[in-house]
Every structure is written in C-alpha cells, then in structure tokens.
Amino acid sequence: MDDPFVTCPYNACHRVSRSRIQAHLVKCQKNYPKLDICPYNATHRMSSDEMKQHVKICTNRSSFFLKEKPLVTGAISTPKRILQKEYLPETDPNHEMWDD
C-alpha cells in the first residue's frame, strides 16, 4: 500500500495513481474482455476462476462483516405516527409563519 500507483488489471502497461484507478477502470473495461468485479472492492478485477479464490481471501472482506454483535441498550420501539388531525402548526415551536 506504500506505492502511490497501481497496475491496471486490463493492461499491465497501464500504471495509474490510486486516486484515479476507479475512473481508469471504467474507461479501460470498454476496450478489453470482461473481468469479474470483486463484491468487496470494485477495483479488484480478474477472471472468473481467479475471482472464486479471491473472494475467499479478499482483504476488504472484513469491512463487510461485523466481528461482534452491536451492543444495543434501551428499548427499541416503533415511532408513533403523527396524524394530520393531531398536528397543529400553531402549537409547533418550529413552525414558521410566513404570512405575518
């Protein structure tokens, strides 16, 4: 990750800065055979056979799965719907009067 440039998966002669690789891939994919796109990182492109192995070991995979269950505190309830007949603009402190 120290190298500021990456190699294009479509053409090894293409060296592109990390910040521009997404835009480059969109342009380059039109001119080369279709490669599969990694579900965890769209800049990872390779053949179907390679992708099957890559998906199992992709370094970006861990960002999609929680390591622990989130801690939930307090009661979870459904918010009460505000019906039109219950809402009165005069009693709303945030209501703005534009006609005055």
27-55 tens-digit pLDDT:
999 999 999 999 999 999 999 999 999 99
Tens-digit pLDDT profile for residues 11-22: 999 999 999 999
Residues 24, 32: Cα–Cα separation, whole Å: 13
pLDDT of residue 78: 76
How far is CA 48 from each of CA 7, 14, 34, 86, 91, rounded to the nearest angstrom?
Answer: 19, 22, 10, 58, 62
Residues 86, 67: Cα–Cα separation, whole Å: 44
Percent of the chain's residues with pLDDT above 70: 78
| Element at 48 (helix H, strand E) | helix 48-57
